DNA sequence: ACAAAAGTGTTATAACTACACCCATGT
DNA sequence: ACATGGGTGTAGTTATAACACTTTTGT
């Protein structure tokens, strides 16, 4: 159907999409104590932005978010979390997109679908850094992981969107099994705590964290132990859902 | 400019609005231990729905919500809280609106603005029951307060929207001065507790609530006391922001 | 005097913090 | 043996819940 670099422009029939409505995905991954998110770089520009997309006329808003996630990562069945809808006038700035389209050999009319004003609903997803295969779309030549604290300058209000996603993730961290996708199936309490500390941006008490996690009842301790270093081997845990 | 029953249809130029994007307002009021919300009844039908509206092309999403609130209540400077954007396909059902328009003497084409599929962003507001003047719009002949637990059957997914607004209000109840608009300027601890119990749908411990509110530091105790009943007079409190 | 409801106090429990101590492991 | 770091235990603090007691007020 399409190659790995995504759809060709001429295959896109913008009439299939709802006008005015967009979605942006903040796709969180975690690797070596760093929280990362997928960022697109548009071709032949210094423009960076969140992976986003539009809503098909016969598609739920949530499904559009799942589809965008799939198109950029090939991941499916990932829980997506709607956190806010961005609709200020100040985010309406078609100029960068016009330049991007020009660089791709297009000369869009002023009323081209991609140059409209959009509301954008933000979703965040937690995905396995190792399982995701970042795939650029037809206007961009890379889709890469960036440290959440070392992002390039992003177009439009996308930095604000990431900030809001992070706030939402922090608020939800205790209500959801955050580690489920961000960590390996089996992990030590240390690894889980590192993840929490990275997300929350602060150190957590070691014994308190241990107790809290065990008391939450969401973890199963695997009989096995880990090895390698010159100290007591930690237990391995697994989420029980 | 327009009379109290709202804009006449022929004054509305739908080209001024963004397609595909709507907002719905859950306007909460409180009176005599009952949490209420404003509901529109469409003319000559048994159709009830939330007050809603669309987004002008030169207007922020938040501003559209404020405008809708103003148009239905004449209230301004009320803080509105965005809680969710509803975008499932199942909410797309233009038939009731087509009937409403017919009852109003219109014979809309199938692609009329009002018969499109919309995403709808939900906002809730807390307003002073006594200060709001409910005003119907041009398609409806009433805009009235209904007990949140005794609503008429609502069109589309509007019952779900109210439910989600209520959940959001409950989650935010401790972070915001909920009583600020829902109660009089000065109130007793009993009145504040009644409000909380109504919103949360459960009884709260009397002394615990008292302490929690006082310790929150958001209340000022007014020297004056209240009178009337055969028991100790309660103090009056006021929010200090 | 009494009932009613507000203000205040006491105690028990739970959750989190900080720190200490013990245990397993590789050098 | 020793350092390292994970597991566990012990106060101290704080927040909440449940209940009792005291105060004020009109009948």
Q: Determine contact, residues A181/A78, Cβ cutoff 8 Å.
A: yes
Shortest CA distance to B155 belongs to which of B92, B68, B82? B92
Residues of A in contact with B60 (CB under 8 A): 87-89
DSSP 3-state assignment of A152?
A: coil
**Cβ neighbours of B45 (radius 10 Å):** 17
* pLDDT greater than 60 at residue B143: yes
Note the pLDDT tens digit of each residue in B68-98: 999 999 999 999 999 999 999 999 999 999 9
User: How far is B230 from A178, CA to CA, in rounded Å?
Assistant: 55
Q: Å between B234 CA and C4 C1'?
A: 13
**Cβ neighbours of A229 (radius 10 Å):** 8
Q: Looking at CA atoms only, how far is residue A187 from chain B in angstroms?
A: 32
Q: What is the DSSP annotation of B188-207?
A: -HHHHHHHHHHHHTS---HH
The pair phi, psi for residue B24, each rounded to 5°, is: -125, 140
Note the pLDDT tens digit of each residue in B160-219: 999 999 999 999 998 888 778 899 999 999 999 999 999 999 999 999 999 999 988 899
User: How far is B11 from B103, CA to CA, in rounded Å?
Assistant: 18
User: How far is A115 from A117, CA to CA, in rounded Å?
Assistant: 7
Is any Cβ of chain B less than 8 angstroms from the Cβ of A16? Answer: no
The stretch A156-184 carries a mean pLDDT of 92
Check B61 against A88: CB less than 8 A apart. yes
C-alpha angle B13-B17-B19 in degrees, rounded to nearest 5: 120
* CATH code of domain B183-239: 1.10.10.10
pLDDT number for residue A199 = 95
pLDDT number for residue B9 = 56
Per-domain residue ranges of chain A? 9-172, 183-239
pLDDT number for residue A6 = 47
User: Which residue of chain B comes nearest to A171, CA vs CA?
Assistant: B171
* pLDDT greater than 50 at residue A5: no
C-alpha pair distances (Å), B63 with each of B13, B58, B196, B235? 18, 10, 29, 38
Q: What is the DSSP annotation of A185-218?
A: SSB-HHHHHHHHHHHHTS---HHHHHHHHHHHT-
The stretch A109-133 carries a mean pLDDT of 95
Nearest to B121 among A59, A85, A117 (CB): A85
pLDDT number for residue A227 = 67
Q: Å between B238 CA and D17 C1'?
A: 26
The architecture CATH gives domain A9-172:
Alpha-Beta Complex (3.90)
DSSP 3-state assignment of B25?
A: strand
The stretch A134-147 carries a mean pLDDT of 94
The stretch A15-42 carries a mean pLDDT of 96
Average pLDDT of chain B, as a whole number: 91
Q: Tally DSSP H helices, then E strands, for chain A.
A: 6, 9
Average pLDDT of chain A, as a whole number: 91
Nearest to B88 among A61, A86, A119 (CB): A61
| Contacts for B59 with CB less than 8 Å, ≥ 6 apart | A89, B67
**Radius of gyration of chain A, Cα coordinates, nearest whole angstrom:** 20
* pLDDT greater than 80 at residue B5: no
* pLDDT greater than 60 at residue A190: yes
The stretch A6-28 carries a mean pLDDT of 84
Q: Looking at CA atoms only, how far is residue B172 from chain A in angstroms?
A: 12
DSSP B183: S
Q: Would the CA dihedral through B42, B47, B49, B54 be positive or negative?
A: negative
pLDDT number for residue B6 = 47
The nucleotides of chain C lying under 7 Å from a protein CB are: 3-10, 15-20, 23-27
Which has more confidence, A152 or A224?
A152
Q: Å between B231 CA and C4 C1'?
A: 6
Is any Cβ of chain B less than 8 angstroms from the Cβ of A62? Answer: yes
The pair phi, psi for residue B163, each rounded to 5°, is: -60, -45
Point out the least confidently predicted range of A6-15, A140-149, A232-241, B13-22: A6-15
b/e sequence A136-160, b meaning 16+ C-beta within 10 Å: bbbbbeebebbebeeeeebbbbbee
The stretch A79-104 carries a mean pLDDT of 95
* pLDDT greater than 60 at residue A1: no
User: How far is B233 from A129, CA to CA, in rounded Å?
Assistant: 63
Q: Å between A121 CA and C4 C1'?
A: 54
Residues of A in contact with B171 (CB under 8 A): none
Note the pLDDT tens digit of each residue in B6-63: 455 557 889 999 999 999 999 999 999 999 999 999 998 999 999 999 999 999 999 9
pLDDT number for residue B3 = 40
């Amino acid at each position: 159907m399409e190659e790995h670099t995504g759809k060709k422009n001429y295959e896109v029939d913008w009439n299939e999409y709802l006008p005015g409505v967009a979605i942006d995905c903040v796709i969180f991954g975690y690797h070596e104590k760093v929280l990362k998110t997928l960022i697109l770089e548009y071709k032949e520009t210094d423009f960076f932005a969140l992976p986003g997309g539009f809503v098909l006329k016969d598609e739920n808003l949530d499904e559009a978010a799942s589809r965008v996630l799939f198109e950029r990562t090939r991941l499916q069945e990932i829980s997506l979390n709607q956190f806010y809808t961005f609709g200020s006038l100040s985010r309406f700035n078609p100029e960068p997109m016009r330049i991007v389209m020009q660089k791709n050999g297009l000369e869009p009319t002023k009323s081209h679908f991609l140059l409209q004003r959009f509301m954008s609903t933000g979703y965040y997803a937690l995905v396995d850094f190792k399982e995701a295969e970042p795939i650029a779309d037809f206007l961009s030549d890379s889709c890469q992981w960036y440290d959440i604290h070392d992002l390039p300058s992003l177009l439009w209000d996308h930095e604000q969107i990431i900030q809001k996603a992070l706030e939402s993730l922090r608020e939800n961290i205790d209500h959801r099994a955050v580690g489920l996708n961000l960590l390996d199936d089996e992990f030590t309490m240390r690894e889980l705590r590192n993840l929490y500390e990275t997300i929350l941006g602060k150190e957590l008490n070691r014994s308190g964290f241990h107790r809290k996690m065990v008391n939450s009842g969401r973890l199963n301790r695997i009989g096995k132990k880990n090895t390698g270093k010159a100290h007591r081997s930690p237990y391995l845990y697994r989420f029980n859902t």
